[in-house]
Amino acid sequence: MPQIQRGILTSVLGPADEGIRGSVRGLVFLGTSSVEAYVKQIEPREILVECICALLARQLSLEAPEPLVVFVPGALNQTGADALAFGSIAVSHGNLRPWLTQLGDAAVLRRLREWADIIPAACFDEWIANNDRHGGNILYDGKDTFWLIDHGMAIAANLTADEAVRNLLFSAATDGLGEADLLLMKPKALGVMDDYVERAVQPVMDQIPSGIWAEEWLNAISEWLEARQTHLVRLADSRVPARQGNLLLGGGNGS
């Protein structure tokens, strides 16, 4: 598999949305051509996690911008020093926050629930233990497609592979649903997780450029993702609280 593209930030066009943590929109030269990308300077391990999660999302056929490893020359850095950054090729959609303001929470939640990939996306967030999903890191095309971005807070270094964290996409999918709807949703969630359990992590890791990050980080994250797979079905079962479904799966006595 081809490795993540590496590029050089050659021009800053402006802040990236809210400009969180100094993120910018700029032109990144990839060796033969330039692309518009969002670039943010974050800690090295967070860059690595961003890259791995973006690649994993794309392997799972979820909408996520192509990740880049970007060199930022000192002349374009507020600190005046050369730096390494995470980049993602720009897509022509903004995040959910303006839609929340314009349409209101209930209307946006309804559109999220109608999204064909909300359960696969929620299962993805469960796999990477992403507790930082919010309106600023979901892009929306205004119709029926959502894009997942900003996964630097996932795969926390001190998190055990069996630990459940807040999963806002599962909450959005299940909050307020009755037992009948939850019973319909549970097999889909468990089926997605069954698929994710069988997915190989190594093809994702093979796309990470060598010589940038410590091998111990690479090995630890790969091993954590593989260990997490053994808990995915149980975690998904707990996210869709259909009591009859748990009974059918042998997960309780229904009392």
Hey, how many other C-beta atoms are within 10 angstroms of the C-beta on 38?
24
pTM of the model: 0.92
- pLDDT number for residue 19: 47
- pLDDT number for residue 21: 63
| Residue 250 falls in which region: left (phi positive, over 0), alpha (psi -120 to 50) or beta | left
pLDDT at 173 over 90: yes
Task: Decide: 221 and 229 in contact? Cβ < 8 Å.
Answer: no
Average pLDDT for 222-242? 96
Over the stretch 174-208, which tens digit does the pLDDT of each residue have? 998 999 999 999 999 999 999 999 999 999 999 99
Pairwise CA distance, residues 22 & 239, whole Å: 35
Go through the domains of the chain in sequence order and give each one's CATH number.
Answer: 5-89 (3.30.200), 97-248 (no CATH)
Average pLDDT for 157-183? 94
Could you tell me where the DSSP H helices lie in the chain? 44-59, 97-103, 105-114, 118-127, 168-174, 179-198, 202-205, 215-229, 232-239, 243-248
Listed in sequence order, the residues at least 6 apart from 70 whose beta carbon sits closer than 8 Å to its beta carbon are 6, 7, 8, 9, 28, 37, 39, 84, 85, 86, 87
Over the stretch 30-86, which tens digit does the pLDDT of each residue have? 999 999 999 999 999 999 999 999 999 999 999 999 999 999 999 998 888 999 999
Task: Decide: 139 and 146 in contact? Cβ < 8 Å.
Answer: yes
As to burial, measured by CB atoms within 10 angstroms (0-12 exposed, 13-18 middle, 19+ buried), residue 216 is exposed
Task: Please report which confidence band the pLDDT of residue 167 belongs to, taking 50, 70 and 90 as the band edges.
Answer: very high
Span between the terminal Cα atoms of the chain, in Å: 50
Task: Decide: 9 and 179 in contact? Cβ < 8 Å.
Answer: no
Hey, how many other C-beta atoms are within 10 angstroms of the C-beta on 138?
23
Residue 76 CA from chain centroid, whole number: 28
Average pLDDT of every residue of the chain: 91
Give bridge partners of residue 40 from the DSSP assignment: 86
Residue type, 70: V
pLDDT at 2 over 90: no
- pLDDT number for residue 80: 86
DSSP helix, strand, coil percent of the chain (3-state; round to 5)? 45, 15, 40
Over the stretch 92-132, which tens digit does the pLDDT of each residue have? 888 988 898 888 889 999 999 999 999 999 999 999 999 99
Over the stretch 18-30, which tens digit does the pLDDT of each residue have? 545 668 999 999 9
pLDDT at 255 over 80: no
- pLDDT number for residue 243: 66
Pairwise CA distance, residues 4 & 171, whole Å: 32
